[in-house]
Amino acid sequence: MTEPPTLLVTRRLPPAVEARARRDYAVRQREEDEPLSADALVALAEGAAGILCAPGDPLGAETIARLPASVRVLATFSVGTDHIAVAAARARGILVANTPEVLSVATAEIAMLLILMAARRASEGERLLREGRWTGWAPTQLMGVTLAGKRLGILGMGRIGRELARMARGFGMDIHYHNRTRLPPDQEAGAAYYPTPEAFLRATEVLSMHIPGGEATRKWLNAERIALLPRGAIVVNTGRGGTVDDAALVAALHSGHIRAAGLDVYDGEPHLFPGYLSAPNVTLLPHLGSATVETRDAMGFRALDNLDAVLKRGAPPPFEVR
């Protein structure tokens, strides 16, 4: 009987995912949840045919150059591949695969949650109660804004953006978007398209960001673009932390130009820009976008589908990153 391929699993995964991995592979499983060092990753990968990794794992070009020759595929438990030097892996003949199309609804739910919390000042209200400072109902206490009739500007109208648009219509919001290309009418579903970011931002009262990371979009939302938003706008980011200029957003929150913000992703996470901790009306979540049982199971199964294709059938992974 042929021995199953050795698989390095760099983090703890949902129980159902771990069970399937152990059924089909000789699993080398870490028990810790935090990212490991590059040296530790390289050492643990010795003899492994595949690595099931996750965001934060140090798979830059230098680490990939040191991986043992046995490694044939990197399957990441994520859609994003910012933690992997894909070109360096390709140069070594190592396939890279991700888990798209299964976390759109869950991430859109978090975006909608942040929009609601920012608009209705929910984080401020909870802190008031937890700190024992609430003295009872008052006519002008913590007045937010209603979402009905507000213009929701979706930056990046991909799968997540379209799911958010569907949810936001239920709250009576008017949908606007900016994309590299205009969507076909059936996907647009009546949303207003803006070919330039300037016109888009001027029309946006609630901005929800869903663009990929990388140098091309780094600090996309800077002071100049924040100034284009109407005074009192709300900013939400569930895409990539590096797309926001943190200092500029904090300054706009303090000045009142931005009414409120809701963030689930951060530049250099888990480290947080210190200014957010004292900024008025900002809701901070610890990257919960895909954190549902259903979604995380689906992500893990998709990662294993990628591994099965390469290591069991000698085929390309169904969700290869090129």
Other CB atoms within a 10 A radius of the CB of residue 72 amount to 18
Quick one: pLDDT at residue 104? 95
DSSP category for residue 182: P
Which pLDDT tens digit goes with each residue over 247-270? 999 999 999 999 999 999 999 988
- What's the topology of domain 6-102+293-313? Rossmann fold (3.40.50)
Q: What are phi and psi of 175, to 5 degrees?
A: -95, 125
Q: Which CATH number fits domain 104-284: 3.40.109.10, 3.30.565.10, 3.40.50.720, 3.40.630.30?
A: 3.40.50.720
Quick one: pLDDT at residue 259? 98
Quick one: pLDDT at residue 2? 82
Cα-based distances in Å from 298 to 26, 80, 103, 290: 21, 15, 8, 10
Active site annotation includes 254 = no
Catalytic position from the list 240, 259, 296, 302: 240
Residues in the chain with pLDDT values less than 50: none
Conformational region of residue 136, where left means phi above 0, alpha means psi within -120 to 50, and beta covers everything else:
left
Quick one: pLDDT at residue 1? 62
Helices (H), the chain: 15-24, 38-44, 61-66, 86-91, 104-119, 122-130, 159-169, 185-188, 197-202, 223-228, 246-255, 293-313
Quick one: pLDDT at residue 82? 87
With CA atoms as reference, report the closest residue to 175 among 108, 258, 228: 108
Strands 50-53 and 73-76: parallel
For the chain, what are the domain ranges?
6-102+293-313, 104-284
Catalytic position from the list 18, 225, 287, 320: 287
The number of helices, as runs of H, and strands, as runs of E, in the chain is: 12, 12
Active site annotation includes 287 = yes
Do 284 and 276 meet the contact criterion of CB atoms below 8 Å apart?
Answer: yes
- Extract the tokens encoding 111: 């975006």
Helices (H), 173-285: 185-188, 197-202, 223-228, 246-255
